[in-house]
Structure 1
Amino acid sequence: MKRHTFPLALTAVLSMIVLTGCGGDDEPTKADDPATSAASQPTSPDSTASTPSSTEPAATETTTDAGSPETTSVPVYFVGDTPQGTRLYSEQREVEADNPPGESVALLMAGDVTDPDYRTLVPAGSLGTDVSFDGTGADGFYTLNLTDAQWAERPAGMSKSEAQLAVQQIVYTLLSQAAAGDIDGAKGGVDFYLDGERTTFLGVAGTASPAASLDVRALVNVSSPAEGETVNGSFQASGAASSFEATVPWEIRDDAGAVVQQGFATADGWADKLYPWQSDVDVSKLDPGTYTFVALTDDPSDGEGAGPTEDSRTIVVE
C-alpha cells in the first residue's frame, strides 16, 4: 500500500512534563502486556435525548476565504482520574489541517490540555512529529520515530501501567483520526522506530494496538460543549459512555457546586464498549454566569460502590 508521510508541523517540545498516573510497578522493563482492568458498569434519572452514530465526532475543517483548509477538529486523548483508576479522556482539538497526526502528537507531548482535569503521560520531546501512515482507516499502521534511544526504555519514576497508558494515548489519538470514530476491534496500530529500526517505546514492545475501550477509557466522556464555551438559550451536549442501562445522567452546577439543573441522555448501548450519547440542554432559565456541565455514569450501587465516573466542562451562560 502507498505510504503517506505528513510534514513536520510543530517544533519539538523542550521540557519534560511531570508524570502522574495510576501507580504500580516502577521497575524498568523492555516489554509490557496491554493494559487491562475490569470496568464497573454503572440506574436511571429522567429526561430525553437523541444519539449520534459514532463515539467520536468526525474531523471537520475550517477554511479560508479562498477555500483552502486551515485547521481541522480531531480527537486527542489525554488522561484523568476515575473510580477505576487513571483512564483516557478525549478532547476535540483544532489542529493544522496539513498535518493532524503530527500536530496531535505534539499536543500530547506538551500536555496541552484545555480541560484542567486532564494531563498527559507522553514524555515531552520523546517523539518526532513526522508521522507516516500505511493502510486504510482503523486497520492502517502509523510510524513514529523516537528522538533518542533513552525513550526506548521506561524512564525512572514511570510505572508499567503509566507507560502502557501513554502508548494508548498515542494509539487512540491516531487511529481515531484515521477511522473518524469508533476503533473498538481495530486491526491497525502504531510502530515505533529509532534510526530506521523498529524499537520499543517506554519499554512497551511490539506494534501497539488499541486496547479494549472498557479497559483504558473513562466510562463517560464529554465531546461537546468545549471547555469554557459560551452558551445562550440552549445547546447540544454529546459524548461517549458505557453506563448502566445506557442511561447517562447530566447536571449543571453553579460556582458553589450546587446542582441547578439536571437531566439524562440515552446512549446507543452499554456494557461491551462506549457508545455515543447526546442531549439538548435548555439553559434559558439560568442567570448569566459561569457554570459546570457534568456528565456521569449511572450508579446502580446507590453510593455503595466506588461511585460514578464523571466528565465536566465549564460553560458560560449569557
Structure 2
Amino acid sequence: MSSPSNSATIRDLLHEVTDGVEPEDRLDTIRAATADSGRRTHRGWWTAGGVGLVAASVVTALALSTGGGPRGSEPGPADESTATSTPTEPNPATSRAVPVYFVGDTPSGPRLYREFQRGTGPMSAETFALDAALSGTSQDPDYRSLWPAGAVSGAYEMHEELITVTLEGDLHDRPAGMTEAEAWLAIEQVVRTAQGSFGQGRIPVQLLLNDARTDQVLGVPTSEPLAAGSDLEVLAHVSLSEPSEGRTIRVGRALTIAGVGLSEDDRISVRVKLREGTPVLRDVKFDLDPADSTLSPFNVDLYLGDIQPGVYDVVVSVTNPDGTFDTDTRRITVVD
C-alpha cells in the first residue's frame, strides 16, 4: 500500500472518501455519554506503556457538493442532540467498552483489526483506548501496533465537529525501518481509535505533537485535520467483536460470534478446533448481508453441544475476490 502524493492526491482522496464505511457494531456501550462538546481532558498520572487517510478539507468539499458528509463508521451517541451538553469529567469508578484498532497480517498485507477493551482506573476511556493502540496492548497475540516504543497520548479535546489528540514523544519523523505505508497505517490506528472511543463516527481528527501543532507525525502530513480512509483499503475483511480473546464458556452453552465482514460469496466460515492439535470440532457457514463495498455486521449463536472442557480456537474466515482468505481468530476456554 502507498500513501497519497503529489498531483494524484486529491483524486485518490476523493475516491477514498466515497468508498464504503464500516457499519455499527452491536455493542451499545460505545454510545454512552461520549459526546460532551468542548471537553478537554489530560491523561493524568496513568500511562499504558495511511494509507487511506483523507485531509478533512477534502471531506468538507465533498460534503458541500453532495449535501452531506460521510456516514459514521462507529456508533454515535444515543442522542446526537446532546452533543452540546455540559462537559463532564470522566468518572474513575466507571468503565465502558471502547474500540481499539491494532494491526494484523492478511494476504493483502498489514490491515487494521478492531478489538473492544474495557478501561478501568483513574483515566478516561478515551485515554485508555489511545494508549492501548499506541503501545499495542492487545488481548489478542495476533495483533500489534506500528507505533515506536514510548509513544503515548496526552490531552484530547472533543468538539461537535473535531477531535484533537495530543501525542507525546519523538514522533515528528518516520523512524528508521518504518515504511511510508506503515506510517500511514499507524496514523490510521490513532484516527479510528479516537473516533470510535468518542462514539462520533468519522468526524475529523487533528493531531498535535507535544502540545503544539505540527506539520507531520511519523513523516505523515498532519497540518490539517484527518479523516479515516477507505475501509476496504485499511481494514481486514473480517474482524471479530465477540468472543473476546480468552473468553470462558460453560459446556453446552451457545457461543456468540459477532463482528463485521465482507466476502466474495457473501458467506462466513466458522471453525472451532482444539488449540493443541488439529481436530476441527465445528465447521459451519452462515450468510452475510450482500455488500459490494462495505463490511457487513454479523451476529450468530453457535451451539457448542458436547464439546468437552479444554482450550479451543474459534477461526472465522471470508473469501476474497482473488481466492485468498482473510481470517480472525479467538482463543476460548470451555469449562464444566
Residue in structure 2 matching 1:125, options 146, 150, 157:
150
Higher helix share: 2
One-letter amino acid of the counterpart of residue 143, structure 1: T
Any gaps of 5 or more consecutive residues in structure 1?
Answer: 15-31, 37-53, 61-66
Q: What is the CA distance between 1:127 and its match in structure 2?
A: 3.6
Distance, in Å, in 2 between the alignment partners of 1:56 and 1:134 is 17
Distance, in Å, in 1 between the alignment partners of 2:164 and 2:310 is 46
Tell me the residue number matched to 1:291. 312
Q: What is the CA distance between 1:315 and its match in structure 2?
A: 0.8
Per-residue deviation, residues 23-66 of structure 1 (Å, max 9, x unmatched): xxxxxxxxx76369xxxxxxxxxxxxxxxxx9767899xxxxxx
Tell me the residue number matched to 2:43. 8
Residue in structure 1 matching 2:98, options 74, 90, 110:
74
The 3 A distance-change label for structure 1 pair 253 and 10 is: farther
SS of residue paired to 1:166: helix
Q: What is the CA distance between 1:259 and its match in structure 2?
A: 1.7
In the alignment, is the contact (CA less than 8 A) between 1:293 and 1:313 conserved in 2? Answer: yes
Indicate whether 1:202 and 2:218 are aligned. Answer: yes
One-letter amino acid of the counterpart of residue 221, structure 2: A
Indicate whether 1:267 and 2:288 are aligned. Answer: yes
* TM-score when normalising by structure 2: 0.71
Per-residue deviation, residues 113-146 of structure 1 (Å, max 9, x unmatched): 11111111122332433221122xxxx3222223
Same amino acid, percent of matched pairs: 27
Distance, in Å, in 1 between the alignment partners of 2:75 and 2:93 is 18
One-letter amino acid of the counterpart of residue 39, structure 2: H
Q: What is the CA distance between 1:9 and its match in structure 2?
A: 4.7
The 3 A distance-change label for structure 1 pair 9 and 234 is: farther
Tell me the residue number matched to 1:39. none
- Select the structure with the greater relative contact order (CA < 8 A; seq sep ≥ 6): 1
In the alignment, is the contact (CA less than 8 A) between 1:56 and 1:239 conserved in 2? Answer: no
* TM-score when normalising by structure 1: 0.75
Distance, in Å, in 1 between the alignment partners of 2:312 and 2:77 is 28
Residue in structure 1 matching 2:208, options 171, 192, 195:
192
One-letter amino acid of the counterpart of residue 4, structure 1: R
SS of residue paired to 2:301: strand
The 3 A distance-change label for structure 1 pair 134 and 284 is: same
Indicate whether 1:317 and 2:317 are aligned. Answer: no
Q: Say what the alpha-carbon RMSD is for the aligned residues.
A: 2.9
Distance, in Å, in 2 between the alignment partners of 1:264 and 1:75 is 26
Q: What is the CA distance between 1:179 and its match in structure 2?
A: 2.9
Alignment of 1:1-318 (within 5 A): 2-9=37-44, 11-12=46-47, 34=52, 69-96=93-120, 99-135=124-160, 140-148=161-169, 150-179=170-199, 183=201, 186-206=202-222, 207-232=225-250, 233-254=253-274, 255-298=276-319, 305=323, 307-318=324-335
The 3 A distance-change label for structure 1 pair 33 and 71 is: closer
The 3 A distance-change label for structure 1 pair 236 and 84 is: same
The 3 A distance-change label for structure 1 pair 269 and 174 is: farther
Q: What is the CA distance between 1:147 and its match in structure 2?
A: 2.4
SS of residue paired to 1:151: coil
